[in-house]
Structure 1
Amino acid sequence: MTGAATPVLAGMYPDPSVCRVGEDYYLVCSSFEYFPGVPVFHSRDLVHWTQLGNALDRPSQLLLTADTPSSAGIYAPTLRHHDGKFHLIVTSVSHGGGTVVFTATDPAGPWSDPIPLPDVHGIDPDLVWDDDGTCWCTMAGVHQYRVDLATGTVLGGPQPLWSGTDRAKAPEAPHLYRIGRFWYLLIAEGGTERGHAVSIARGPAPDGPFEPCPANPVLTHRGTGEPVQNTGHADLVQGPDGSWWMVLLGVRPGGGTPGWHVLGRETFLAPVRWVDDWPVAGPLTATPPWPLRPGPVEPDRDDFDDSALRPSWISVRDRSEEHCTTEERPGWLTLHARGAGLDDPSVVFVGRRQQHRSCRVRALVDVERGSGGLAVRLDEEHHYEVEVEAGSGEVRVHVRIGPLRTVVAVQPVPAGPVVLVVRVDEARELRDARSGPDTVSFAVEAADGTPTTLAELDGRYLSTEVAGGFTGRVIGAYAATGTVHLDWIDYEPLD
């Protein structure tokens, strides 16, 4: 069962797009500067999701270089199933990538190499087919093209459509549907911050004309005391029983004023009913009226005994076998440094999204030469890490906040492998209106498992409200210099 303010995909899984094939639901999210890109999930109940893989898992599909800024990369995918094939359309905002389409017969992959649509401009692309097979691509703005996906050719457009309510900024995330006797144009507006909202219009044809819903926005939490804020960027799906549902993004701010969200934008679920041919969205995280079907749960501990990394592991911009391998030392993950640590866009890093407000991550780290350890990353200018340097006999805690970089703790350790610990504890009470959302602490464990805390840091500086951008925290291992081996990493929720 889910409860109030509970995401169905916790952590940095924004811009959800969903489609149903038979009794199976498939969902994708934005991935920004991380590789592999566009995580793909499967569910039978819209509540429990299992990651099948990542659609963009080859350099031929996704090329993110060192000059790809954080919060750039891959934006706002739309996933649709048509004529026996899955279609994934995304915006690559780096290096002139533009609008590209990928296809697959199995959502678990493999997915095709990209089919570029060089004359389709904008972000947040959507796909829909009408009864005669014409494919319509609608973009943020909101404007629309008729396209031939086989060749990437534009057959018509761009044509402006309804762009939301008067004076609302950032009309984006359009999705177009044929439902009953109307075509519906669902959009986000108000910006992806506290003013975010979902609005809708309807018309007689995919190109309109569209009339707005008199009750717009059909979903927003702006100006409310709801624990989930920034709600928007929604997609609709119909259940096998005829019911309708909306997946959307939202954030869970913590602490005092202005409130800091650290996990990124997460995926939530809301029921939808229809009144006078208009959708009415219900409260978030309502449970569907069919039996819940929990899927397999991925173990929280990874001993790196498999040759391939689990799909939940992500890296910054790329991941090559030259710099990241489980073959060099069997049963260990080996990282060979490139660049100069977490400040460098080329850092060698393998991490997972922080998915709980309170959690603990532990790893057995053996620095063969050079330096590396465990890090909590938001971007190049906002990260904390606990680092071992070979030969020094010391562990250090580094802090990077904007232009400030400093060492806040040093601890002697014996030579050889060492267990490093990152712990995040949500603030349970406010000291005053300026209280941060959580505390991020770092420790080293003795041979008997006793932890020695090295530093306790305010978590607000690793939040979107401080750092900006579109992403959330990722916790994982890195090599700053030389070679770093990891025997295991475990992630323990503490909520």
Structure 2
Amino acid sequence: MKKILKVMLLLVATQIIAQTAPETFENPILSGFYPDPSICRVGDDYYMVNSSFEWFPGMPIHHSKDLVNWELIGYGITRPNQVELPKGLKDSRGIYAVTIRHHDGVFYLITTCVNCDGNFYVTAKNPAGPWSDPVWLGSRGIDPSLFWDDDGKCYYVGHANISGLNDWPDKNGAWIQELDTKQGKLIGQAKQITHGHAANARWTEGPHIYKKDGKYLLLVAEGGTGFQHSVTMHHSDSVWGPYVPFHSNPVMSHRQLGKDFPVHSVGHADLIETQNNEWWAVMLGKRKKEDFSLLARETFLTPVKFESEEGYPLPVFNPGIGHLSFEQKRPNLPWSPVKKVEEKDEFVNSELGLEWNFLRTPYSKWYTLEKGSLTIDVRPEVLDSLVNPSLIVRRIQHHKFEASTKMVFNSKKSNEQAGLVVYRNSTNHIQLVKEKNELVLIATKKGNRKEMARVPFKGKEVYFKIEGDNIRATFSYGTSENDYKTIGDTQDLSIVSDEVAGGFSGPFVGMYATSNGVKSKSKANFDWFIYKENK
């Protein structure tokens, strides 16, 4: 009887899911700072990774069953001594574009640590981790990728101009060399396989090789990761080339749509074939609102159809449309919603949630989680320096959002501060902090620090809140969740946009504490943190 009941409940649940499954999906599929996507499939499971630059843990990994609903399951870099993002690492350096691949039961992440130790890969049997220590390769360039041919040989595909010829500005390209994964080293000769689709192609990078219908296809990004960004495709009869550009290049770009189009800088793609023989592409793009790209580079999804051009399979991106769509028919895959991250984190678990990040490598643990509270050590490090400050933040993922927290901080020293912060990089951030018996709102734009407001505040317990409306933000404080008062005028949130802050990272919001260069034994306690979309 129990078995029959379980079967009936399963059938009912299946029917409910089928009835509620939407016919379309919305872009982006990963909102907020998720650039340079790479994807692979194992059976009916999809795994995607993004670059992370100076942020730790590094290389966020998401899982999906339907290419639309994604769940963050882990990171490729989780241990301080695994791959170091050291003190002094500049903004937008660190972990550049990552490629994820799977071969013979093993997952591979290959990437570059810029201004660290260069190109490396890590491996895992479970994509959620743990991942291995790095295998350093000592190779040139950035954005490496891996390709296994039918004979089992593995090839490293990298970015660089190794030809020695520099006959036009910003000439880069892709090159190939065999990789012995048992020895963990490159073997044989390296060969340049393209400099891009045209004689003046700039910043050719992000290469991936695929094999379809017996032909080799080389996908690269060109034009840089700004407005001129694009995707081009090249074909060959041999993995070693020569690779010939398709006449239809670029196969994807938004630069031809003009600067007023709401999505721009589209490029850096990776292709995936579903178990139902559909092809799709993931790529980065930026959404522009009121002339600013607040959320930086995000991950988008679009269908791909292969057509024949001169006997070679040519990918047509978003057939009949030719550019990314905000909404369109979803992949022919079972609708598989994932559990959403709770809006309110009450810090009741023994470890921080996967959504939380640190700046650079935290070599020591300067926070604790106890009795439903997050306690952060007040340390000398500050936001304006290239260090690992006492900063715990999460991505801003919506143009309209709200973030708030309850803090207990009882320092009587004017150099000690703790509170709420919006952060893009060391020269662009806004902080609302408690300082002795006052609350201070400070904005730093392009390295220029300015006090925006200061009010008296007695008591050790304070509530902080920010309400963001694209490029505008209101900061508030109170003695309870129902008693907020605005501090200062409406703030300019374009400080953390691409157009003002620059670089390759994105905006974060969270908790911060500092003693401004002086050793301290003080601590700041945060009872909870709320992040939510304001519709």
Cα distance, 1:5–1:289 mapped onto 2, change above 3 Å: closer
Q: Tell me the equivalent position of 1:21.
A: 42
Identify the residue that residue 279 of structure 1 maps to in structure 2. Answer: 315
2:367 corresponds, among 324, 342, 346, to: 324
SS of equivalent residue, structure 2 residue 494? helix
Counterpart pick for 1:192 among 216, 221, 225: 225
Inter-CA distance 331–321: structure 2 relative to 1 (3 Å threshold): farther
Question: Secondary structure in 2 aligned to 1:90?
Answer: strand
Matched residue, 1:400: 444
CA shift, 1:142, in A, is 1.1
Q: Is the 8 A contact 2:25 2:68 kept in 1?
A: no
| Alignment of 1:293 onto 2:313 | no
Aligned amino acid, residue 476 of structure 1: G
Q: Quick check: 1:221 aligned with 2:254?
A: yes
Amino acid at match of 2:44: E
**How does 1:413-424 map onto structure 2 within 5 Å?**
413-424=457-468
- 1:104-119 to structure 2, matched below 5 A, reads 104-118=124-138
Structure 2 residue identity aligned to 1:379: N
User: TM-score scaled by structure 1?
Assistant: 0.93
After the TM superposition, which residues 69-218 of structure 1 pair with which residues of structure 2 at under 5 Å, given as runs?
Answer: 69-95=90-116, 97-118=117-138, 120-140=139-159, 141-166=173-198, 167-218=200-251
Specify every segment of 5 or more residues in structure 1 that has no aligned partner in the other structure, as ranges.
Answer: 427-437
Letter in 2 for 1:404: N
Q: 2:427 aligns with which of 370, 381, 384?
A: 381
Distance 1:383 1:321 in 2: 24
SS at match of 2:256: coil
- Structure 2 Cα separation of the partners of residues 265 and 211 of structure 1: 30
Cross-structure match for 2:407: 365
Q: For the Cα contact (< 8 Å) 1:71–1:471, is it kept in 2?
A: yes
Spell out, residue by residue over 1:314-339, the C-alpha distance to the aligned partner (whole angstroms, 9 max, x if none): 01002355312214xx2111111333
Distance, in Å, in 2 between the alignment partners of 1:398 and 1:130 is 55
Give, as a single letter, the amino acid of the residue that structure 2 aligns with 1:231: V
Q: Is the 8 A contact 1:16 1:30 kept in 2?
A: yes
**In 2, are the aligned partners of 1:312 and 1:352 still within 8 Å (CA)?**
yes
Q: CA 1:320–1:335 in structure 2 vs 1: closer, same or farther (change >3 Å)?
A: farther
- What is the identity percentage for the equivalent residue pairs of Structure 1 and Structure 2? 36
1:357 positional shift: 0.4
- Cα offsets for 1:23-73 (capped at 9, x unmatched): 000000001000000001000011110000111100122211121001001
Tell me how large the CA RMSD over aligned residues is. Answer: 1.6
Task: Name the CA distance, whole Å, in 2 between partners of 1:148 and 1:471.
Answer: 33
Among 348, 351, 371, the residue aligned to 2:393: 351
Superposition deviation, residue 226 in structure 1 = 3.1
Residue identity matched to 1:411 = V
Cα deviation, residue 4, structure 1: 8.5
My pick for the range that moved more, 28-37 or 274-283, is: 274-283
Cα distance in 2 between the residues matched to 1:341 and 1:181: 55
The equivalent of 2:163 in structure 1 is none
The separation in 2 between residues aligned to 1:425 and 1:11, in whole angstroms, is: 15
How many aligned residue pairs are there? 475
Corresponding letter in the other structure for 1:322: K
TM-score in terms of structure 2 length: 0.86
**Distance in 1 between the 2:23 and 2:118 partners?**
38
The match for 1:235 is 270
Which stretch shifts more, 278-287 or 132-141?
Answer: 278-287
Tell me the residue number matched to 1:442: 475
| Structure with bigger gyration radius | 2
Name the counterpart of 1:470: 504
Residue 270 of structure 1 corresponds to which residue in structure 2?
A: 302
**More displaced stretch, 51-60 vs 447-456:** 447-456
In 2, the alpha carbon distance for the partners of 1:344 and 1:101 equals: 29
CA gap of 1:290–1:452, structure 2 versus 1, over 3 A, is same
Q: Secondary structure at the match of 1:161?
A: strand
Counterparts of 1:322 and 1:211 in 2: how far apart (Å)? 52
1:484 aligns with 2:524: yes
Partner in structure 2 of residue 339 of structure 1 = 380
How much does 1:414 deviate?
A: 3.0
Q: 1:232 to 1:5 in 2, by over 3 A?
A: farther
